Amino acid sequence: MKSIVIKQPNQLEIETRALPQPGAGEVRVKVKLAGICGSDSHIYRGHNPFARYPRVIGHEFFGIIDATGEGVAPSRLGERVAVDPVISCGHCYPCSVGKPNVCTSLVVLGVHRDGGFSEYAVVPARNAWVVPDAIPDEHAVMIEPFTIAANVTGQVNPGAQDIALVYGAGPMGLTTIQVLKHVYQVKQVIVVDRIEERLKMAQRSGADLVINNLQQPLAAVLEEKGIQPTLIVDAACHPSILQEAALLASPAARIVLMGFSSEPSSLTQQSITGKEISIFTSRLNAMKFPVVIDWLSRGLIDPTKLITHTFGYQHITDALELFEKNQRQCCKVLLTFNP
């Protein structure tokens, strides 16, 4: 089989590897579609502190079970599955409180262990979630990015009174917008980015108001309109954003962070305690695959709004370069395997 391997930073090879055999409790997935994410590019460029090389990247993938290991029901052969990349131990403290996404021995497919940019991938059977036939392949491959939005929103119980502000209209902001608007039906979703084309995508994803903060200062626009967001999601992840978010937030607001910067954010106690602001963080997803599959089945979200390009996996280098260099035209880029 062919696998996309990052041998070391900046060195990508399409390798021929032996077809892997599933071990006990595992299944082999014949991969059909995979999505490129910022973290794949970070591993490629050597900017992911968790990555070990050589590594088959890819943690957003969909395919068909074509072999089962010991202890896995053979009836699972032929199932269409989306794979949760989060592998957890099941018994540590975070696992015991429902947060396997921060398991003390967390393993993420495509980061700590070989992932899905490959013609076949072996994964734990319980990570392979059946996708109902009514959900098309292009939706199924987008389940993982929507689980990130499910996790973010799951922290804060959004409601009909909420005025949400989303920083960043990249893939993460865009999935969050759809979920806030179409699953939780919050009152208003405001989106801020500095790229006009991405703000257009935000509007197509359901944003009620978009603001280009390169052209207009965000604080002034919100003040003029008398808007105090009650729920703020930082999907742009610059460390300076937290301070601004605390300033703009309504009393009793919630702020969700999802960035991994190692630079400090500066914040006074007064700016958060004075309004009793709650700050949440969100990493990966905690058992959100069934949640997103349900949303897809009910037609609440539309992943195709994010997909801008599709390439055969042989063109991975072109696909990654386009993804990295062209944020105006490019959002989610898919790779096809075993067409």
Phi, psi of 32 (to 5 degrees): -105, -45
Sign of the CA dihedral running 41, 303, 189, 84: negative
Residue 104 token pair: 């003390």
Q: Does 107 bind Zn ion (CB under 5 A)?
A: no
Taking the complex as a whole, the smallest distance from the CB of residue 38 to Mn ion amounts, in Å, to 7
Q: Considering only CA atoms, which of 154, 161, 191, 190 is closest in space to residue 253?
A: 161
Q: What is the rounded distance in angstroms from the CA atom of residue 331 to the CA atom of residue 323?
A: 7
Which residues 244-263 are close enough to bind ligand NAI by CB under 6 A?
258-260
Taking the complex as a whole, the smallest distance from the CB of residue 40 to Zn ion amounts, in Å, to 25
Among 37, 108, 169, 202, binds Mn ion (CB under 5 A): 37
Q: Considering only CA atoms, which of 215, 220, 191, 187 is closest in space to residue 203?
A: 191
Taking the complex as a whole, the smallest distance from the CB of residue 29 to Mn ion amounts, in Å, to 17
Q: Which does 76 bind (CB under 5 to 8 A by kind): ligand NAI, Mn ion, Zn ion, none?
A: none
Q: Does 148 bind ligand NAI (CB under 6 A)?
A: yes
Residue 29 token pair: 């997935």
Nearer of residues 37 and 51 to Mn ion, judged by Cβ: 37
How many CB atoms neighbour CB 188 within 10 A? Answer: 16
Q: Does 102 bind Zn ion (CB under 5 A)?
A: no
Among 95, 236, 255, 320, binds ligand NAI (CB under 6 A): 236
Nearer of residues 72 and 177 to ligand NAI, judged by Cβ: 177
Q: What is the rounded distance in angstroms from the CA atom of residue 246 to the CA atom of residue 61?
A: 36
Q: Does 167 bind ligand NAI (CB under 6 A)?
A: yes
Q: Does 283 bind ligand NAI (CB under 6 A)?
A: yes
Sign of the CA dihedral running 196, 182, 146, 143: negative
From residue 79, alpha-carbon distances to 31, 130, 144, 147, 200 in Å are 12, 6, 18, 20, 37
Taking the complex as a whole, the smallest distance from the CB of residue 132 to ligand NAI amounts, in Å, to 25
Q: What is the rounded distance in angstroms from the CA atom of residue 81 to the CA atom of residue 61?
A: 9
Residues in the chain: 339
Q: Write the CB contacts of 32 (distance below 8 Å, at least 6 apart in sequence).
A: 62, 63, 64, 137, 141, 336, 337, 338, 339
Binding mask 180-219 for Zn ion (x = CB under 5 A): ----------------------------------------
Binding mask 71-100 for Zn ion (x = CB under 5 A): -----------------xx--x--x-----
Q: Does 235 bind ligand NAI (CB under 6 A)?
A: yes
Which residues 59-78 are close enough to bind ligand NAI by CB under 6 A?
none
Specify the amino acid at residue 110: G
Taking the complex as a whole, the smallest distance from the CB of residue 187 to Mn ion amounts, in Å, to 29
Q: Which residues bind Mn ion (CB under 5 A)?
A: 37
Q: Which residues bind ligand NAI (CB under 6 A)?
A: 38, 148, 167-173, 192-195, 198, 213, 235-238, 241, 258-260, 282-284, 327
